[in-house]
């Protein structure tokens, strides 16, 4: 049995995404700070050790290589805070003396430069030191100088600084959490306003949503208002259709009823034909209003494939009119969708192509065009066309019931009805082949 998972709120989702990212960045910054701090401290200590070794070399050169004349003891340690060792062929000097076991092996080594001693086990001496060894000649006498730094004390100082950095990082994370929470709360205020507006809409206090929100919410509000407009329009048209149907069928029904209730008149052939005519009127009215009721108009989430539908209709009309050619010109792909309900697009294309097929001499052309602003359908034929003075009457509601007579008036009222529901326009003109050209433009 599948377990339903309750979706998280936007606030929880953002916190789950932003908080770990913030913590990870703070932790990365903390590790980078530790690495940089150690690197900078080592470079600084090495620079000071080299400077002090150069100072000792200068002092030894001034004394002519006589080490006993130098101020040794704890002088350099007190002044420079470093330990040192000086060695000549006749004498070795260490300060402080407790570091002698650590520095003596370095004196016996070869080469100048920085050396590191780890994990030393000498009483009264550090276990980790950084030393600089320098050798030179004074009046032909080889002298070796070593200056060393206690890295344990430096690490302790770095550890304290690094710990304070961690504390500051934690405080910054807490501040970040608070900032994220406040930012999310302020950002979700339009949602609260939209919820309140929807509640008022449900209660009948308002008819449309008017919420001042950020740019991201305006398309949502606009779509909701368009949906409300579409629902109101469909309701209004349904009421209009019912009123029209009721008004239209009253007369034929009353006539049939009068004939049936008149017992003095026999049901001869003329009366039967009259009753059949009245019933045909009712049937045509019902069919007309049923076709109108199937027009959906703009609906969110509904779309159609114009190229596929057009090809299917052209194939069918090619079989219906085998002596005529139906051509289509378009740059749209087979997978391209238009935001038009599928049945509505079929009504538009079907009626226009059927009209053009009936009146064309040999060829009917269909063009499907799409831009960023609109969708365009153009149907033209090579028939006799329609006089310019008569084009204004095409598509009028008064011609809509005249569906038994072939001509360009067939179904054009239905097409105009559908196009108007999409807030589009339909225009008539003379085509390049001399027949009638119908152009439909529907904006996005």
The full DSSP string for 125-188 is: S-S-EEEEEEEEEETTEEEEEEEEEEHHHHHHHHHHHHHHHHHHHHHHHHHHHHHHHHHHHHHT
Among candidate residues 343, 337, 336, 338, the one with its CA nearest the CA of residue 297: 343
Per-residue tokens: 284: 């045509």
Position 307 scores a pLDDT of 93
- Kindly provide the residue ranges of all beta strands, DSSP E only, lying in 224-361, ordered along the sequence: 325-330
Do 344 and 419 contact (CB within 8 A), yes or no? no
- Kindly provide the residue ranges of all beta strands, DSSP E only, lying in 361-400, ordered along the sequence: 363-370, 374-381
Do 364 and 356 contact (CB within 8 A), yes or no? yes
Position 265 scores a pLDDT of 67
* 3-state DSSP helix/strand/coil % of the chain, to nearest 5: 55, 15, 30
Position 330 scores a pLDDT of 93
Contacts 24+ apart (CB under 8 A), 286-295: 286/245, 286/249, 288/400, 288/401, 288/403, 289/241, 289/244, 289/245, 291/414, 292/237, 292/241, 292/414, 292/417, 293/238, 293/241, 294/343, 295/343, 295/344, 295/347, 295/414, 295/417, 295/418, 295/421
Position 69 scores a pLDDT of 61
User: What are the backbone angles phi and psi of residue 205, rounded to the nearest 5°?
Assistant: -75, -30
Do 145 and 76 contact (CB within 8 A), yes or no? no
Position 372 scores a pLDDT of 87
Name the pTM for this structure.
0.43
Cα→Cα distances 306→90, 179, 292, Å: 104, 50, 21
Distance CA 407, CA 425 (A): 21
Among candidate residues 280, 226, 231, 228, the one with its CA nearest the CA of residue 253: 280
pLDDT tens digits for the chain (444 residues)? 445 555 567 777 777 887 788 788 888 888 888 888 888 888 888 888 888 888 888 888 887 777 666 655 445 555 556 788 888 888 888 888 888 888 888 888 888 888 888 777 777 778 888 899 988 888 888 889 888 888 877 777 777 877 888 888 888 888 888 888 888 788 778 778 888 888 887 777 777 887 676 777 778 788 888 778 777 777 777 777 676 666 666 667 776 776 677 777 676 777 677 777 777 767 766 666 666 555 555 554 567 899 999 999 999 888 888 889 999 999 999 889 988 888 888 889 988 998 888 889 899 999 999 998 899 999 999 888 887 777 777 766 544 434 444 444 447 878 888 888 888 999 988 888 888 899 999 987
Distance CA 134, CA 44 (A): 18
Torsion of the alpha carbons at 424, 428, 431 and 435, rounded to the nearest 10: 130
Position 292 scores a pLDDT of 58
Position 120 scores a pLDDT of 77
Between CA 145 and CA 152, with CA 150 as vertex, the angle to 5 degrees is 160
């Amino acid at each position: 049995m599948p377990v339903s998972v309750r979706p998280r709120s936007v606030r929880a989702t953002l916190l789950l995404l932003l908080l770990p990212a913030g913590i990870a960045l703070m932790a990365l910054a903390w590790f980078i700070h530790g690495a940089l701090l150690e690197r900078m401290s080592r470079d600084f200590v090495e620079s000071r050790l080299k400077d002090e070794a150069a100072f000792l070399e200068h002092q030894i050169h001034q004394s002519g290589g006589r080490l006993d004349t130098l101020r040794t003891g704890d002088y350099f340690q007190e002044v420079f805070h470093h330990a040192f060792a000086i060695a000549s062929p006749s004498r070795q000097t260490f300060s402080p003396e407790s570091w002698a076991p650590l520095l003596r092996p370095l004196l016996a080594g070869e080469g100048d430069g920085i050396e590191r001693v780890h994990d030393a086990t000498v009483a009264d001496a550090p276990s980790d030191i950084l030393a600089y060894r320098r050798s030179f000649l004074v009046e032909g006498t080889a002298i070796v100088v070593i200056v060393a730094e206690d890295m344990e004390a430096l690490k302790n100082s770095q550890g304290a600084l690094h710990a304070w950095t961690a504390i500051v990082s934690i405080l910054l994370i807490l501040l970040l959490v608070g900032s994220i929470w406040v930012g999310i709360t302020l950002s979700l205020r339009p949602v609260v306003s939209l919820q309140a507006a929807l509640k008022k809409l449900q209660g009948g206090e308002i008819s449309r949503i008017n919420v001042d929100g950020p740019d991201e919410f305006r398309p949502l509000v606009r779509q909701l208002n368009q949906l409300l407009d579409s629902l109101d329009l469909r309701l209004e048209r349904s009421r209009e259709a019912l009123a029209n149907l009721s008004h239209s069928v009253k007369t034929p029904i009353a006539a049939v009823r009068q004939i049936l209730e008149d017992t003095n008149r026999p049901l001869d052939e003329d009366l039967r034909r009259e009753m059949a005519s009245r019933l045909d009127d009712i049937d045509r009215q019902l069919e007309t209003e049923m076709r109108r009721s199937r027009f959906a108009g703009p609906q969110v989430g509904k779309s159609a494939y114009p190229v596929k539908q057009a090809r299917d209709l052209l194939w069918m009309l090619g079989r219906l009119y085998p002596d005529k050619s139906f051509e289509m010109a378009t740059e749209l792909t087979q997978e391209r969708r238009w935001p038009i309900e599928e049945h509505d697009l079929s009504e538009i294309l079907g009626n226009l192509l059927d009209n053009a097929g009936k009146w064309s001499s040999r060829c009917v052309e269909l063009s499907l065009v799409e831009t960023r602003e609109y969708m365009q359908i153009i149907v033209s034929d090579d028939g006799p066309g329609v006089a310019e003075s008569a084009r204004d009457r095409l598509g009028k509601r008064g011609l809509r019931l005249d569906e038994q007579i072939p001509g360009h008036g067939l179904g054009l009222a239905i097409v105009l009805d559908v196009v108007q529901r999409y807030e589009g326009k339909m225009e008539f003109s003379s085509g390049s082949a001399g027949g009638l050209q119908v152009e439909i433009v529907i904006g996005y």
